[in-house]
A and B are shown apart, each in its own frame.
Chain A
Amino acid sequence: MSITYVDAIREAQDKLLRDDPRVFLYGQDISRFGGAFKATKGLAEAYPGRVLDSPISEDAMIGMAIGASLDGMRPIVEMQFADFSSVAFNQIVNQAGTHFYRTGVPVPITVRLPSGGTPGSGPFHSQSMEAIYSHYPGLVVVTPATVSDAYHMLLQAVEVDDPVIYCEHKFLYRWLKANSINGDGLPIGKARITRPGKHASIVTYSAMVHEAVRAADRLQEESGWEIEVVDLRTVKPLDMDTVLASVARTGRLLALGEAFPWGGVTAEVASRVAAEGFHLLDAPPKRFNSRDTPVPYHPKLWAAHRPTPESICVAMRELLSY
């Protein structure tokens, strides 16, 4: 028996609905249809009246979730694709993000963003919005990369009393499988050393964790380099303790992400390591992202647009030869 990443998301929602009467799900086509990616399959039948189809109104969806959370509920909103959350941007950053600071009343909503690219998804069904939401105060932004994290972090997200942007990766939905969900559940906010090493650190998150591990395996096989891979798991807040400890061990940093290169999570990691861990570095911190164009449609272009194990190896060799 194996469980996929999207199964884990479904299981977590099942458990939340079962255990917590404050939880309800709101999103497009999530009820009988089970969601565009089937992350809510069967839940409408199991929990009548608590899995609600919404109109195609992202602004209203988040606004309504905010209202419901102010009234004591714990709504989980599914964006059909992360890209469409831009329509709800105002509600997320201005309404949810400012509410606790302004009024002292928290807004415990969870927004699920099916993020990142898959072959053929093109410019409007591939975007990674984590940096945009991290930029704004008041929000927690999580980016699970494993099946177990997808499960545990969603449970935790709903527990958090503040708005949580839960960036799940579409590429991992069915591609990533585990034998079971293991029970550890590191807390939101804590990074994990996915692969230990001593010559350089790749600090990354979400689907890029897997590409980084492949690149690291390849470098080890080919040249004996031992590369450490740090999975941030949460991009806001950033677990700089774990990142700096890793850089202290290795002396070199590659900040890796699938999002566009300008600004963003990798820029944040690189600048913080440079500022807080300059003395730990044997080489300038390096960043590696997707290319600075909209995400292309054709699988061949798409595969070359995002970092791949091959291109990560090239970046790593540059970093290691400094």
Chain B
Amino acid sequence: MPADADATPVRDEREHARKVFRAMLEARQLETKLSSMYKAGKIVGGVYLGKGQEAVSASLGGGLNWGTDVFAPLIRDQAGRSAFGEDMLDCTRTYLGSSLGPMHGRDGNIHRGRPKEGLLAMISHLGASVPVVAGVLLSRRLQGKLDGVVGATCIGDGGTSTGAFHEGLNAAAVERLPMVVVVANNQFAYSTPNDRQFACGDLLDRAVGYGVEGSSVDGTDFLDCLRVIGGAIDRARSGAGPQMVVARLLRLSGHGEHDDASYVPDKLRAGGLGRDCMQVAAAQMIETGYATEGEISDWQTEVEDAVQLAIATAQQEPPPDPWKERWDARSTKLSMVTEA
């Protein structure tokens, strides 16, 4: 099918914007709550917020279809997970170590996933998801089930320096797979600024080098994110090959909640990149008539209640039990062998 860059999505824009915006609200509130619990010592491990990146993340997750598309979120993608359709309980159960969560206490916080439903479970190693998404898509093609499917993943500016990112993007381009890679360029990789991370003028140059179609977006502008990221998803879906979107923004928190981000200059915070996409989005929702102020505040309350409930539920659930744990790293027992 020829790529049609101007193809208009066959979705109701208003409904879509409402869904994605609600996911952003959900992520912001959920993460705010998780952060305070972490600071109160109620969560072990780390808490990594996507604060300031919700518009980008949710635009990607929200453009995908749960159960048929594939999504490999990264550390700052709570909003994308929510928009894709992940149950909020999966998040609270994983952070709080409930044995009923998808990871059963075996892996924590952001590493969770439901691979069978298309939500891949990231490992810490940055870049490693890029080829895995490509592999799912290759498999769909081999089974004749690729048409209309998209695989998507996210990466930070720092993660684009890894070999896995480059190898995976190149291999996906060689196979012309319907993959969308969104780069959240939040200016820092932990504390390392862009000028110590890469020397090309624009991260999009990397896409060009692989024969991947690239686009840029202001990651603080909700409607722009919906349009540009949605456009990339549509193009991938209609057969135009891998797409890369680079979003300019600033992370509005530390790398994790243990980090005060004192390395971010005040000037940067005060500038355009420092504006909060959540506020921009709310204003845009009202401006376009996609939602009223009243609706937004109702949603806030609903989401708050949902977050409280999800946390309370996970808190009451049993933690994993080392005595009942099946300490098996493999699914199979090999026959006739006493395993050693």
Chain A residues within CB distance 8 Å of chain B: 24, 49-50, 54-55, 57-73, 75, 87, 90-91, 94-95, 97-106, 137-140, 160-162, 187-190, 234, 237-241, 272
Contact = CB atoms under 8 A, between A and B. Distances in A.
B142 A68 contact: yes
A68 B128 contact: no
Given A64-B134, A67-B131, A67-B132, A100 B330 contact: yes
A277 to B, nearest CB: 12
26 contacts: A55-B167, A57-B170, A58-B167, A59-B128, A59-B131, A59-B163, A59-B167, A59-B168, A61-B171, A62-B131, A63-B129, A63-B134, A63-B135, A63-B167, A63-B168, A64-B131, A67-B138, A69-B135, A73-B139, A94-B123, A94-B124, A98-B107, A100-B328, A101-B329, A189-B334, A272-B340
A103 B138 contact: no
A102 B121 contact: yes
B164 A90 contact: yes
A196 B15 CA distance: 75
Interface string B259-274: 0000000000000000
Interface string B303-340: 00000000000000000000000001111101111111
The 9 A-B residue pairs whose C-beta atoms are closest, nearest first, are: A67-B135, A63-B131, A64-B135, A137-B329, A189-B334, A60-B167, A57-B167, A68-B139, A189-B337
A103 B331 CA distance: 11
B11 interface: no
A86 to B, nearest CB: 12
Interface of B: 70, 102-104, 106-107, 111, 113-116, 120-121, 123-125, 128-140, 142-143, 163-164, 167-168, 170-171, 174, 328-332, 334-340
Given A67-B136, A87-B163, 6 more contacts: A62-B131, A94-B124, A100-B328, A102-B106, A102-B111, A187-B335
A240 B115 contact: no
Contact of B332 (A54, A94, A162): A162
A106 B134 contact: no
Contacts of A139: 330
Nearest to A191: B337
A64 B132 contact: yes
B13 to A, nearest CB: 31
Contact of B337 (A55, A87, A98, A190): A190
